[in-house]
Amino acid sequence: MKAYLILEDGHVFEGTSIGSRREVISEIVFNTSMTGYEEVLTDPSYSGQAVCMTYPLIGNYGIHYKDQESLRPYMDGFIVHELSRMPSNFRSEDTIQNFLKRYNIPGVAGIDTRALTKILREYGTMNGMITTDENFSLDEVLPRIKAYKTGCEVEEVTCTEIEYWPATDTAVGGVTSPAYADIDPSAPIRGKVTGRKYKVAVMDFGVKYNIIRSLNQRGCDVTVYPAWTKAEEVLAGNPDGIMLTNGPGDPQDCPNEIKEVRKLYESDVPIYAICMGHQLMALATGSSTKKMKYGHRGGNHPVKDLETGRVYITAQNHGYVVDTDTVDPAVAVPAYVNVNDNTNEGLKYVGKNIYTTQFHPEACPGPQDCAYLFDKFISMMGGNQ
C-alpha cells in the first residue's frame, strides 16, 4: 500500500506503508545512527516525533525484545529508505514490520531519506503527516500540519508509580518477548556488583533502561520516581545521589518539574543530570533554553571536555539546548561544548555537588566513550575512595 509523508512546507514524499496504517501528524526529525534502530524506536525521548533514519537499510538484524530501552516505543512514526523484511540474526525474535504493527506505529519506506534530511538541515525541523490516503488535499492538510504542537510529553512517558531496581549479581538484562509475556523492565544488566551499595533516586522524565542498568552495574540500588513526584518525597528516601534523566519535548513545557528540580538543587544531595534533566536543572537555576534548528540525534557527535581538552564521540538525542549566554557564572560554568556547533553540552555547578551533560553516557545505541561519567557520579556520592 502507498504511504505519503507530507511536510508543512508542502514537500510530499511517496513511499510504501509499513506498520500501522493510521494517520499521524508529528514533528519530523532525523537520526544518523548506523545501527541501534531498536533502541531508537524505544527511546522515550522521541515521544511526539516521527524519526527518519539516515542509514539506508534498516531492519536487517530484526527485533530482539531484550534490547529495548523502555517498555514500549513512544515515537509517532518511523521513516526509512529501505526496510529489510527478512532479518538475519540468531537473536532475532521479530521483524520491524510486526513490531510497528504491534504498537500501532505508522511508517513509510522507500522514500529518499537523504533528500528529506537535507531539507530538515536547511530549513530546520518541521511538522509532517504520514498518511495512506491517496486522495489527500494539500489545501486541507497543510493548515492541520502547521498547527500541530506537542504538549508536556514528559508526563506521557514517565512511570506511573515508584519502581525499585536493586543492584544484583545476576546477569540477564533487558525485557522478555511480548510474544510470550508482558515486558518486564526490572531485569538487571550483566556484570558483578562489588563494594558498597549506594541508594540512587532516579527522576523519570523518560528514562532509558541503560541508565538504570549502568547504575545497577556499579552497585547502586535504584528507586525510580514518576516525573511529578514532589522533591520532599524523593529526599525523604535519604538517597546517596539523585539522577535526573533524559526525556522528550520542550523543557519549558514542564513548569511543575522545574519547580521540584529547584528544591533538589537546594539540597546537599549529589546530582547527575542527563539531557532533559540537564536542561531542567539549568531552567531551575535561572538559565534559559532554546530550540535548535534541527537538533542532535545520533551516535557520532564530538564533544570537548573543557577541563581536559579531550574530545569524546557521544550519543545524543535532543532538539533543545541550554543558552550559555544566560548561565550565571556564579551558579554554573560550562563543562563540555559541542565541537561541531559550539553549543553547550554540560554544566558544572559552583559550590554544589552537581554535574550535568546534554549527551548520553549510557549510549544504547552509540559509543561508550563517556560511560566513565557514571563512575564520576559514584565518586560524587563518596565511592571509589
Would you name the residues annotated as active-site residues? 275, 360, 362
- 317 labelled binding-site residue: yes
- 279 labelled binding-site residue: yes
- 287 labelled binding-site residue: no
- 75 labelled binding-site residue: no
With beta carbons less than 8 A apart as the criterion, state whether 377 and 270 touch.
yes
- 195 labelled binding-site residue: no
Kindly provide the b/e burial profile for residues 18-43, where b requires at least 16 CB atoms within 10 angstroms of the residue's own CB.
Answer: bbbbebbbbbbbbbbbbebbbbbbbb
- 351 labelled binding-site residue: no
Task: Order the strands of the 344-349 sheet from edge to edge.
Answer: 163-165, 220-226, 198-204, 241-244, 271-274, 354-357, 344-349, 332-338, 288-305, 311-323
Q: What is the C-alpha to C-alpha distance for residues 233 and 366, in angstroms, rounded to an integer?
A: 34
The grid coordinates of residue 131 equal 498518511
In 10 A of CB 169, how many CB atoms? 9
| Amino acid identity, position 126 | M
Name the residue with cell 556547533.
341
- Is residue 273 classed as helix, strand or coil in its secondary structure? strand
| Residues contributing to the annotated binding site | 45, 247, 249, 276, 279, 317, 319-320
| Residues contributing to the annotated binding site for L-glutamine | 45, 247, 249, 276, 279, 317, 319-320
